[in-house]
Every structure is written in structure tokens, then in C-alpha cells.
Structure 1
Amino acid sequence: MQVRTVGGEGVRAYADGIGRVYAEVFTAPPWNEDPAAAGQYTERLATDAERPGFTAGLALGADGTVTGFATAWTTPAPFPADRSYGHVARALGPGRVREWLSGALEVDELAVAPAARGAGTGAALLAAVTRQAPDGRCWLLTSVHAASTVRFYRRAGWHQLPTPVPGRAGLVVFLGPRHPAGASLPR
């Protein structure tokens, strides 16, 4: 396995492989997304690639096929209100959102094809996209319904905020291992 980091222009060349991995991972439990979501994700990826600070980590097999990917970008200030951001802002409050998340590197997606799991691919992808986090400030959202995903982030040293994010998805915020606010959180 080789992990390659690419920017917005570079990620477009891998869109089909990213879409295939996205469909393989996120149509399965616990995510259970509609298979059409993979096509929608690759469309969204083209827009996401334009975001400030966008980076993607790609795990490539020996034959060059995508076996996993991660995407990240800089969270804007002021903090957005679309997607799940509004729920996060209500859960954490404006002070913590401003101090902890705005201007930090936000990991948006991380997916590893089932056949490529167990070899450190997820950890390598996470490290690749967070390496340049300003002052170690990086964060992500995931669902508590994805128990193996939550365990993965904890093993990787990420700090789970004890404040639940309102809504049906059971979202939780994780701060990166070197995030300055992480030291004050329970493990």
C-alpha cells in the first residue's frame, strides 16, 4: 500500500476510485446510505476540492487502484451553519466553536475498503491529511452508532468530546491528538 497526499486538482483524477470505495463503505452498516449517495459524493468532492486548505490522502494498491481515502480542509470562520455544523455549534456553544474548530483542519471523510482493512491504512490516511494541522488543531465528526469507527479514533489518540451533538445521527466531535484543548478532556 502506498499513501499519496493530493490537493484539489490532483484528487479529480481519482474520483472514480474514491466513489467506488465510498459506496463500498458507506452503503454497508452502520451507515446504510443509498447507493446513489456514492455518485452524489463524487459530485460533492469536486466542490469540496475548492475549499481553502483542502487535502486528500489516497491509499493506492500495487495496481494503482484506490483502496482508501481521507479528505480534510480548513474550517471557515465564521463557523458555517449548513450540514451538521449548526448542530455542532448548538452543542458546543460559540466560544468553544470559535476557539477549538474555526480555522482548524476538519477531517470530512475517511474510508477504507473492507479488503484493505487491518493493515494500518486508516491510520496512515488520517496521519497524511492531519500532518499539517495548524498548531495541531484538527477535528472531525462521526456517529456513536459506528462503534468500530469510534474505537479507531480513540486508539489513534483522538479525544472524544463528552458533549453529544443533537440530532438522530448520534454525532460526536473528536479533537486530534495534538489539539491544544484535547489535553483537558477525559480519554
Structure 2
Amino acid sequence: MTRIRRMEGADLAAHTEGIRQVYADVFSAPPWNEGPSAAARYAERLAGDAARPGFTAALALDGDAVTGFATAWTTPGTFPSGRSYGHVAEALGPDRVTAWLCGAVEVDELAVSPGCRGTGLGAALLSAVTEDAPGGRCWLLTSVHAEAALRFYRRAGWHQVQVPVPGRAGLTVLLGPAHPAAADPAVRT
């Protein structure tokens, strides 16, 4: 019997190996094509991410085995510049970044073991980490090449921002189902 469990950062330590394994199983496949070292780096990064303001995680657990996970945190009021944030800021501009993303719940990772897909775990995990989004303001980045992920998010009611994010990664911004900016002409369902 799989259950979804929300937890804070300190509780994640007991599940790090399971999270690392799910990450490796999911992100080693196309379009991500990440090697085993990427999963190890993610597991190491998770401890630091857990200290971010507003951090939350949800695990899909079958007994003690992790079959999926999602992590999220509150995007700071001063939009970050590292990782892909600079490209997002360049694409959306300062007004949209401030209005749409700063202070919103940012979904960082969502992964479900390949054998558990199609069971509703992904939707349950996504809901668990975004249910407290202030005013429905939640967002995430994914690859335009991740067609299955894009279909999943659209079925879940997420809205793709039609402003291309520059850079080689081919990223796109998605806004949550109740995000107030979903009515903006730059966003499509």
C-alpha cells in the first residue's frame, strides 16, 4: 500500500538513499540522460535545499521503499541568479518575475519510479507540495523536450508560459492551475 507523506527537511535524511535511487531511475532516461553521479549530487544537494525557507517534500512510500518524491520551496523575494534562474529572469523580465514567481511555491523536483507511473502518485506528490501555495501561486521549470512531463503537467491543469527561456537546456516555465497569472496572454493552458 503506497502512501504519500509530507515531511520537513530533517525527516528526509532517513530516505536519502531511496530518493537518490528514484532520481537515478527517472533522470537517467531521455531527455535528461543524467549519469549516476548526478543522482549522488542531487542527494548531497538535498540537505542544503531542505534548509531553504518554505521547503517541503513529499514522498511516495511503499512500506519503507521510496517510489516517488517531490520537493518545493518558496522562491525568494529577490529572484536568484544561479542555476537556471538568470535565464528565466531574462525571458520573463523583472516585472513578471516579481509578480509571478517571487514569493510563490517553486517545485524543484518531481520523480516517480518508472514502474509506478500511471497510478496517480505524480499528481498526489505534486498536490502535496503545492497545496499551501499562497493565492495559488506555484511554478516550476521543465524541459520542452520532456514531452511526457509536459503532458502530465497539462493534465494536472498547469499552464505553460509561451515566452521561451534562453539557454541550451530548452527550459519552459509552467504556472500552477490556480496561479493568477494564468490569464496573461503569454500563458497557455
The TM-score bracket by the shorter chain reads over 0.9
How far has the Cα of 1:186 moved from its partner? 2.6
Report the AA paired with residue 148 of structure 1: A
> Aligned residue for 1:75?
75
C-alpha distance in 2, partners of 1:14/1:64?
8
How far has the Cα of 1:169 moved from its partner? 1.0
> Aligned residue for 1:136?
136
Q: Give the TM-score normalised by the residue count of structure 1.
A: 0.98
C-alpha distance in 2, partners of 1:23/1:117?
15
Q: How many residues align?
A: 186
For structure 2, list consecutive stretches of 5 or more residues without a partner in the other structure: none
How far has the Cα of 1:64 moved from its partner? 1.9
C-alpha distance in 1, partners of 2:137/2:77?
14
How far has the Cα of 1:183 moved from its partner? 2.8
Q: Percent identity?
A: 66
Report the AA paired with residue 11 of structure 1: L
SS in 2 for 1:164: coil
Q: Give the TM-score normalised by the residue count of structure 2.
A: 0.97
> Aligned residue for 2:99?
99
Report the AA paired with residue 178 of structure 2: R
> Aligned residue for 1:13?
14
SS in 2 for 1:32: coil
Q: Deviations over 1:22-77 (max 9, x none)?
A: 0010011111012111110000000000000000010011x320000000000012
Deviates more, 1:93-102 or 1:175-184: 175-184
> Aligned residue for 1:146?
146
Question: What is the alpha-carbon root mean square deviation over aligned residues?
Answer: 0.7
Report the AA paired with residue 177 of structure 1: P
